[in-house]
């Protein structure tokens, strides 16, 4: 290779290197700062396209133009009512002034650290002035706006604009949550015991009222039964008295028939003397005439008693040699 060719190659290489160090491109998601010996030169480049700088002397520092995210770790905050709560926040931010950003923090790593401290300070300041219920439930949107405004006041000095700060979670610490859970559980158990006691008291009242009603009904039923039984006994005694008054012999005969009915059945065995008073009417040849003559004197109620005797299967099962009962009236 000749000297001329070598020189041409070297010249071409220097030219390409010169072109490469003269032009630079800016992507639409980025912005750039031109540095000369480490110091910013001119205005930041925020528009995308192909740009020119002095070769070898100037360098380009690229910065992100998009909205960036900062996920802060959960931290403990004391509310105005001295209750502790754990707050987990999320911040969206962007570089609003590239030149100020480069002068203040140089790169995103340092910017994130500074921004996290600013957000944490704003959180403590705003939430510390509010009560626990307000932070957790009542007015969280307004609180997030206040935190964003407070953080922006400090972040502007860094060339950063905070779009918003969101509270992802605001809750009690685990130890406090367990204590509150146990307290709530105790309160619910007390309420359950109170309701159970009231229910048992009502149950006892209803049961006592039911037992009282049952006792009253049974008493009234027993009273009515005794009254009806008394009326029946009075009626029976009146019939017996009427029958006895009409003919004493027939009444004695009827009592003997009742005695036979109560004493004799299919499984009864009685050993008596033939001349026993028990067989007085069975052995008396005049017993038939006693019944016949007495029947004519009886009232209708007494005749019904005679019919009852005639229809009794037990008495008819016995062979009466000398006894003939009157037929039904």
**Residue 198 or 16, more confident:** 198
Are 99 and 80 in a shared domain? yes
DSSP letter assigned to residue 67:
P
Residue 27 CB contacts under 8 Å (≥ 6 apart), including other chains: 48
What are the start-end ranges of the H helices in 27-139? 98-105, 108-127, 132-133
* The pLDDT value given to residue 232: 84
Judge whether 213 lies within some domain. no
Instruction: Give the torsion sign (CA, 81, 82, 86, 92).
Output: positive
* Domain closes at, from 64, 97, 117: 64
Q: What does the pLDDT look like over 308-322, one tens digit per residue?
A: 545 554 443 333 333
CATH of the domain at 80: 3.30.479.30
Q: How many domains does the chain have?
A: 3
Residue 239 CB contacts under 8 Å (≥ 6 apart), including other chains: 301, 302, 305
What average pLDDT does range 250-272 have in this prediction? Answer: 68
Are 8 and 51 in a shared domain? yes
Judge whether 209 lies within some domain. no
Are 34 and 93 in a shared domain? no
Domain residue limits at 43: 3-64
Q: Given pLDDT bands bounded at 50, 70 and 90, which one contains residue 115?
A: very high
Judge whether 235 lies within some domain. no
Judge whether 56 lies within some domain. yes
Are 31 and 51 in a shared domain? yes
Are 29 and 122 in a shared domain? no
* The pLDDT value given to residue 12: 77
Are 52 and 76 in a shared domain? no
Residue 176 CB contacts under 8 Å (≥ 6 apart), including other chains: 83, 84
Judge whether 236 lies within some domain. no
* The pLDDT value given to residue 50: 86
**Residue 11 or 206, more confident:** 206
Rounded (10°) angle between helices 174-246 and 248-263: 140
Judge whether 226 lies within some domain. no
Rounded distance between C-alpha atoms, residue 286 and residue 252, angstroms: 14
* The pLDDT value given to residue 247: 66
Are 158 and 72 in a shared domain? yes
Judge whether 147 lies within some domain. yes
Judge whether 312 lies within some domain. yes
Are 118 and 163 in a shared domain? yes
* Domain closes at, from 154, 172, 190: 172
What average pLDDT does range 159-180 have in this prediction? Answer: 82
Q: Given pLDDT bands bounded at 50, 70 and 90, which one contains residue 117?
A: very high
Highest-confidence range of 34-43, 79-88, 107-116, by mean pLDDT?
A: 107-116
Q: Which residue has the tokens 């911040």?
A: 91
What average pLDDT does range 35-62 have in this prediction? Answer: 86
Q: Is the pLDDT assigned to residue 325 strictly greater than 50?
A: no
What average pLDDT does range 117-132 have in this prediction? Answer: 89
Are 90 and 164 in a shared domain? yes
* Domain closes at, from 110, 139, 172: 172
């Amino acid at each position: 290779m000749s000297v001329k060719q070598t020189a041409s190659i070297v010249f071409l290489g220097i030219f390409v290197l010169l072109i490469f160090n003269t032009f630079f491109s800016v992507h639409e998601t980025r912005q750039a700062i031109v540095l000369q010996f480490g110091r910013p030169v001119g205005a930041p480049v925020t528009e995308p396209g192909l740009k020119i700088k002095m070769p070898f002397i100037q360098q380009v520092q690229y910065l992100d133009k998009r909205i960036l995210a900062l996920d802060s770790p959960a931290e403990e905050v004391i509310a105005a009512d001295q209750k502790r709560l754990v707050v987990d926040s999320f911040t969206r931010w962007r570089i609003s002034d590239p030149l100020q950003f480069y002068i203040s923090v140089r790169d995103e790593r340092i910017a994130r650290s500074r921004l996290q401290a600013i957000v944490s300070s704003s959180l403590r300041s705003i939430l510390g002035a509010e009560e626990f219920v307000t932070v957790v439930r009542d007015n969280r949107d307004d609180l997030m706006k206040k935190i964003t405004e407070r953080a922006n006041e400090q972040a502007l000095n860094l060339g950063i604009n905070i779009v918003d700060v969101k509270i992802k979670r605001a809750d009690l610490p685990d130890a406090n949550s367990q204590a509150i859970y146990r307290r709530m559980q105790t309160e619910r158990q007390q309420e359950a015991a109170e309701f159970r006691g009231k229910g048992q008291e009502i149950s006892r009242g209803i049961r006592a009222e039911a037992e009282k009603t049952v006792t009253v009904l049974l008493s009234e039923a027993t009273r009515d039964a005794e009254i009806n039984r008394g009326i029946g006994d009075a009626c029976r005694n009146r019939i017996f008295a009427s029958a006895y008054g009409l003919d004493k012999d027939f009444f004695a005969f009827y009592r003997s028939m009742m005695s036979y009915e109560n004493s004799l059945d299919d499984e009864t065995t009685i050993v008596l003397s033939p001349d026993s008073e028990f067989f007085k009417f069975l052995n008396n040849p005049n017993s038939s005439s006693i019944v016949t003559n007495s029947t004519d004197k009886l009232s209708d109620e007494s005749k019904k008693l005679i019919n009852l005797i005639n229809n009794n299967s037990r008495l008819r099962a016995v062979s009466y040699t000398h006894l003939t009962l009157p037929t039904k009236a």
